[in-house]
Chains A and B, each alone.
Chain A
Amino acid sequence: MSIDSATVRHIARLARLGIADGDVAPMAVELARVLELADQLAAAHIDGVEPLAHPHEQPLSWRSDTVSESDNAVTFLALAPDARGGLYVVPKVIE
């Protein structure tokens, strides 16, 4: 498995994770090594084996559809890097 710089940039874009230009090539080498490790899975005998997403495969528990939390908007907005008028503030998306 080899990973080129364009692939690293594509994956980083999907993950919304900035990678400095100088770090792209070393990251490509490291990702290739991790994926070589993952390629050992190709030798597994998995014909007819269902994927296991979760231990025990227990059904998730249900709860009644009632309000359980009070209004914490002020508390949560206080954690935001930028909030005004009860809203989170982000850079302009639509010109």
Chain B
Amino acid sequence: MSVSLAQLALDLRAQRVSATELAQSALARAGASGGLNAFITLDADGALAAAARADAALAAGDAAPLAGIPFAHKDIFCTRGLRTTCASRMLENFVPPYDATVVARLAGAHAVSIGKTNMDEFAMGSSNENSSFGPVCNPWDETRVPGGSSGGSAAAVAAGIVPFATGTDTGGSIRQPAAFCGITGLKPTYGRVSRWGMIAFASSLDCGSVLARSAADCATVLAAIAGHDPRDATSVKRDIDDYAAASATPLAGRRIGVAREYFGAGIDAGVADAVLAALAAYERLGATLVDISLPNAHLAIPAYYVIAPAEASSNLARFDGVRYGHACSEPKSLEDLYSRSRAEGFGTEVKRRILVGTYALSAGYYDAYYLRAQRVRRLIARDFAEAFESVDLIAGPTAPTVAFRLGEKSTDPLAMYAADVNTVAVNLAGLPAISVPAGFSDGLPVGLQLIAPAFGEGALLNAAHQFQLSSDFHLRTPTVPA
């Protein structure tokens, strides 16, 4: 399905297709593409019931722009009555009694969820190989990873199963899989989209948002899910911009900073070539490229891999075998219940991060690791603030490589962490960023990352949309085996 959301909305209103037919065909495609392992749970009954409600709303003539459009939720968003696993054995049978705010808003707009997508367990990973429900395959090459942690969402959109999917981004988990799968992925400003009902990984970094084929489609979905939520104390009280209107502005006079650190050692030549060609296209669109430096960029990975595990070790303390989630059988004591339930419920990478985080927060090491990482976090935020004094946007490759092979990095955590080198700094600074399909290297998609100052989602969507008006990388689709 490479039809735009705007075209689908027109087709639905002209009764060329019904929401029920769209839901049925999306469910059929999901079934036919089962080899990708993009879904953990398909919800045919829920989808068809939601589609019937959407058809009624469309017939009544006052339906929202997303009414009747099928999509999928990353399995990190709580869905009332539909199991929400976070790809963990810990939550294998967890059925939430409430909807996340993002879920409620999309349901209120009569968008039709067909199910829950696969992901790295508790969103910890960059390849979707850390799922207790098995890895996801990249639709462009099934021997390769789709990226992570929102790998199922990215694969489902790239394979044409759904036109958009929700995702979360703590260190690149929307942008990197979007880049690896040749689609568009937006990470909004921290606090722009409510985190309520989104299972917490690292609370000062987590952002929910969307993966879709184009920037225009991302704009439509962001407008539906963004905005203040009294249930999330970190949600920002600030009106949302008119993203669609902002997208129409020409780019003449726009200054785009090109950070030289993003083109250093470790970047594939084919990725660099594709990104530089995309930047040349921006010059033709009237933008000016400015050479900039982000001098502390090399410290982003070490700072992130202290702060994120520290917050994770605290957040995941809630899984205790008492209130919900997995419990071990016949515990000998309360401590045995805690430690064995957690040992059985969590996978290897989650355990590793809990231990790293616990160490970084423990007596004697707190100053050397956690506090130091938070100071470096300020240096990284300052680098961006200083750069944005002279440029409107910052550009570079979303990831240093194209999608790597399944198994290539899964036994080496540090090699996996290095895949996040260009994305984690953005989360540390709380900024918005977007990954835009920018070309191909060896037949695999390359993503261009654009970064904006806080609440610059309109500027990002504008720059991405203008590029997509003059390129067709976002329209290319893989050949998905039946």
Contact = CB atoms under 8 A, between A and B. Distances in A.
- Interface size class for chain A? 35 or more
A82 B327 contact: yes
B339 interface: yes
A14 B322 CA distance: 18
A4 B68 CA distance: 57
A50 interface: yes
Interface in A28-62: 30-31, 33-35, 37-42, 44-46, 49-56, 58, 60-61
A65 to B, nearest CB: 13
B343 A51 contact: no
B306 A41 contact: yes
A75 B80 CA distance: 12
Contacts, number: 171
Question: Chain B contact residues: over half helix, strand or loop, or mixed?
Answer: helix
B302 interface: yes
A6 interface: no
Contact of B378 (A18, A31, A50): A50
B442 interface: no
A29 to B, nearest CB: 11
B100 to A, nearest CB: 15
B470 interface: no
B333 A80 contact: no
Contacts of A19: 343, 351
Given A18-B339, A51-B374, A76-B97, A34 B414 contact: yes
A34 B305 contact: yes
Nearest to B369: A38
A56 B189 CA distance: 10
Interface string B335-371: 1111110110010000110111011101000001101
A17 interface: yes
Interface residues of B, number: 72
A30 B374 contact: no
A67 to B, nearest CB: 14
A8 interface: yes
A27 interface: yes
B306 A56 contact: no
Given A55-B430, A79-B97, A41 B302 contact: yes
Interface string A70-95: 00100110111110000010110100
Contacts of B204: 53-55
B414 A93 contact: no
A34 B360 CA distance: 11
B190 A52 contact: no
Contacts of B335: 16
Interface of A: 7-8, 11-20, 27, 30-31, 33-35, 37-42, 44-46, 49-56, 58, 60-61, 63, 72, 75-76, 78-82, 88, 90-91, 93
30 contacts: A15-B355, A17-B339, A17-B351, A31-B352, A31-B359, A34-B413, A35-B356, A37-B302, A38-B369, A40-B299, A41-B306, A41-B369, A41-B372, A41-B373, A44-B376, A45-B379, A46-B372, A50-B378, A51-B371, A52-B375, A53-B374, A55-B428, A78-B97, A79-B323, A81-B326, A90-B334, A90-B337, A91-B333, A91-B336, A93-B333
Given A38-B360, A46-B376, A91-B331, 13 more contacts: A7-B359, A8-B355, A16-B338, A20-B343, A27-B355, A31-B356, A33-B413, A37-B414, A41-B372, A56-B454, A61-B237, A72-B97, A82-B327
